[in-house]
Amino acid sequence: MRAFLQTLIGGIGFGAVYALVAMGFSIVYRTMGLVNFAHGSVVMIGAYAASTFSMTVALPFPVAIVIAIVVTGLIGLVIERVLRPLEGRDFDLMLIGTIGFGTVLEALAILIWGATGHAVPSPVGSAPLDVFGVRVRAYSLVVIAVAAGATVLLALFLRRTKLGAAMQAVAMDPQAATAVGVHVGRSNAMAFAIGAGLAALAGGLIGPMLYVSPVMGGSLGIKGFAAAIFGGFGSIPGAIVGGMAFGILDSFAAGTFQGYSELVVFLVFTVAIMILPTGIFGERTVNRA
């Protein structure tokens, strides 16, 4: 029972990170109808930026993550600005453009930080906590708490602010939103910036849990993308549920099947999508292709 609970909490920790990645995918898709295939690379840049500012510049880890969010938010704005002329004209070229940006970001990471990668020490110490006889990594609890806080803030932003309401309006009907004075380009830019910020938060948080390298964005991007699909692409609650499900399944599969864990995880995912083609919460974004 103790081993089960330890694996479960570890899975929730990873699931919280996957949920952040999935939310980044979903917020861009629900606003623009576009899958940002550079998202995984932005996660990687966020991980590198956070680790660099905390280890090399010696800033407190929370401050380093905030700076990483700002850096990747600017990257998101650049990506959106470059793609904006294609909005509503050439959707396929926009998709190819996001793939190209991902390749460029990976090449820049290798150029700046090298191809070998590095480990990131835990900011809260490595000694596990004893919670009712269950030994839990303190950092896993930190990751869960931070991800939960970010999710609440995102929900409040979308529901309680004018800019969030504008983004919701653009997601439902961009033509009608434009007719009532909503600046669609500004909403799209904000969606990219928020998505990139969530990516940086995910990358910064997972740095001490994994090995930071230029190729880490591929795996995290695929898992976040799959989590978003499983939850219902474009759905924020779906991204949370999908990320948690992926993290827990990944954790138990790693303990049971070891080297074949990812194969097992994606086989289960494939079966689940065959049963629920639109995901748990279904499609919630207008297709603007």
* DSSP H or E run through 228: helix 216-231
Q: What does 44-90 look like in DSSP terms, one character per residue?
A: HHHHHHHHIIIIIS---HHHHHHHHHHHHHHHHHHHHHHHGGGTTT-
Q: What is the mean pLDDT of residues 274-281?
A: 88
Q: Which residue's structure tokens are 């990751």?
A: 143
Q: Can you give the pLDDT at residue 285?
A: 43
More confident residue, 38 or 84: 38
Whole-number Cα distances in Å, 122 to 36, 51, 138, 140, 209: 30, 11, 9, 10, 8
Domain 2-117+124-275, architecture per CATH: Orthogonal Bundle (1.10)
Domain ranges in the chain are 2-117+124-275
**Is residue 107 within 8 Å of residue 96, measured between CB atoms?**
no
What is the torsion angle, in degrees rounded to the nearest 10, for the CA atoms of residue 67, residue 50, residue 196 and residue 165? -50
User: What residues are paired with 136 via a beta bridge?
Assistant: 129
Residue 252 has pLDDT above 50, yes or no: yes
Segment among 18-22, 61-65, 255-259, 276-280 with least mean pLDDT: 255-259
Q: What is the mean pLDDT of the chain?
A: 89
Q: Can you give the pLDDT at residue 286?
A: 46
The per-type count for the chain, helices as H runs and strands as E runs, is 11, 4
Residue 141 has pLDDT above 70, yes or no: yes
Per-residue pLDDT of 173-190, as tens digits, reads: 888 888 888 888 888 999
Residue 149 has pLDDT above 90, yes or no: yes
Residue 284 has pLDDT above 60, yes or no: no
Dihedral sign for Cα 72, 76, 81, 85, please.
positive
User: What does the DSSP 8-state code read for residue 288?
Assistant: -
Look at residues 231, 225, 226 and name the one whose alpha carbon lies nearest to residue 280: 231
Q: Can you give the pLDDT at residue 127?
A: 73
Q: What is the mean pLDDT of residues 238-258?
A: 91
Per-residue pLDDT of 7-61, as tens digits, reads: 898 899 999 999 999 999 999 998 888 899 999 999 999 999 999 999 999 999 9
Quick one: what percent of the chain has pLDDT higher than 90?
A: 58
User: Taking the model in full, what pTM does it have?
Assistant: 0.92
Q: Can you give the pLDDT at residue 283?
A: 56
